Structure 1
Amino acid sequence: MKRATPIIATAFALGAAPAFAGNTMPPMDDTPVAAPVAPAPTNVGPDWTGFYGGAQLGYGDVDTNVSGSDDGVIGGLTLGYDYDLGNFVVGGGLDYDFADIGVANNAATLENVFRAKIRSGYKLGNGLLYATGGYAQADTDTLGSDDGYFIGGGYEHMITENLSMGGELLYHEFDDYNSTAVDVEATTLQLRGTFRF
């Protein structure tokens, strides 16, 4: 024990810590540690990318600047394509509706409506809330056909991986219908069922 004392004293004097038995403390590391980063929120839901086709049925109200409004049943076929961008969905489609709704106090009858549409929407879980608009063509039995436009919106919900159901509200406008000085406005509210490929 007396011989070990000068060795320990020399080690302290030189700044070296003696290795004592049981000293297992790791060396200190002053490197800063980055705080954990939370993952970016994502809107989990189905993938809407792909073609779809289906049917729609609902109510139509037709009004003109020369008479009151007339209403009735309207319905037909729809098809289109959607592209899923993550939280948002964009797409385009075609509608063809059959109708039997009087126009201008039954001076004419609206027989069908064709639409070429674009839409853009935000995903809400398994649903899609969207706005839509585009070109419309209306055809009547006595006043001929005319071109116009429509705007509106809707909600579509994915029931299964391939089946969706929804509703759509559209406003149509046909100014100076077929050069007759009659302005026609039509509002439709329809339920839609589509199969997605």
Structure 2
Amino acid sequence: MKLIATASALALSAAPVLAGGLTEPQPTPEPVAVTPVAPVVASSLWSGGYVGAQAGYAWAEADDADDEGPIGGLHGGYLWNSGKFVYGIEGDYDWADVEFGDAGSLDSIGRIKAKAGYDLGRTLLYATAGGAYADAEIGGDSYSDWGWVAGAGVDYMVTDAWSVGAEALYHKFDDFDDSGADLSGTTLTAKVAYHF
């Protein structure tokens, strides 16, 4: 009986030690440092400067005389983008060979235009408007004057540096260089440009 009492006393005295051993706090693992990753923002193919050439056709009218003929020239500009919105400025110059019957001829036209469009990836749809400066011969005399121009176009990026496109523009010159003649015309051109 003494033996059972002694064994029971030893078991009871060891119980708190075993119980305490089970409730001791376990070591917590060190937190893993996570390095933030910056989001990748796709840059627009249409941002930056460009230069190129264009060729096409013009339909012009001076008062009651009208005719048509080829045009061609050079252009350059700069574009910025804000999300899918693309905007910028472009200057161009076209040599022209458009006769107004016996009334005269349109010899050249230059333009300074604002552009605004929508970025569809490799395709850019845009509207454009600005000032136009033309040289013409009317009744045997040379004239030049400012007017306005407005139109629309589409460009397609063939590679990351080269684009092709088409542009339609309407031009209007009231009382051209005080000649008494009102000039108007529409041009349709194909364009190619190098972007840098």
Q: Give the shorter-chain TM-score range.
A: 0.7 to 0.9
Structure 2: 5+ residue runs without aligned partners? 1-41
Quote the Cα distance in structure 2 between the aligned partners of 1:45 and 1:71: 41
TM-aligned CA deviation for residue 146 of structure 1: 1.1
Larger radius of gyration: 2
Candidates 66, 72, 77, aligned match of 1:75:
72
Q: Which amino acid aligns with 1:154?
A: G
Question: Is residue 84 of structure 1 aligned with residue 81 of structure 2?
Answer: yes
Please name the residue that 1:20 is paired with: none
Alignment of 1:1-197 (within 5 A): 46-67=44-65, 69-103=66-100, 105-141=101-137, 142-197=141-196
For normalisation by structure 2, the TM-score amounts to: 0.74
Structure 2 counterpart SS, 1:144: strand
CA distance in 1, matches of 2:89, 2:58: 22
Number of residue pairs matched? 153
CA contact (8 A) 2:61 2:67 kept: yes
Structure with greater proportional helix content: 2
Q: Spell out structure 1 runs of 4+ moving beyond 6 A.
A: none
Q: Distance in 1 between matches of 2:44 and 2:80?
A: 12
Letter in 1 for 2:62: T
Q: Indicate conservation of the 8 Å contact 1:87/1:122, yes or no.
A: yes
TM-score of the two chains, using structure 1 as the length reference? 0.74
Equivalent residue letter for 1:140: A
> Take 1:82 and 1:125, find their aligned partners in 2: how far apart are those partners?
14
Q: CA RMSD in A?
A: 1.6
Measured against aligned partners, the alpha-carbon deviations of 1:104-139 in whole angstroms (never above 9, x if no partner) come to x23222111010010000012310000000000110
Residue 45 of structure 1: CA displacement? Answer: 7.5
Taking only the aligned residue pairs, the percentage that are identical comes to: 41
Report deviation, 1:187: 0.2
Q: Which runs of 5+ in 1 are unaligned?
A: 1-43
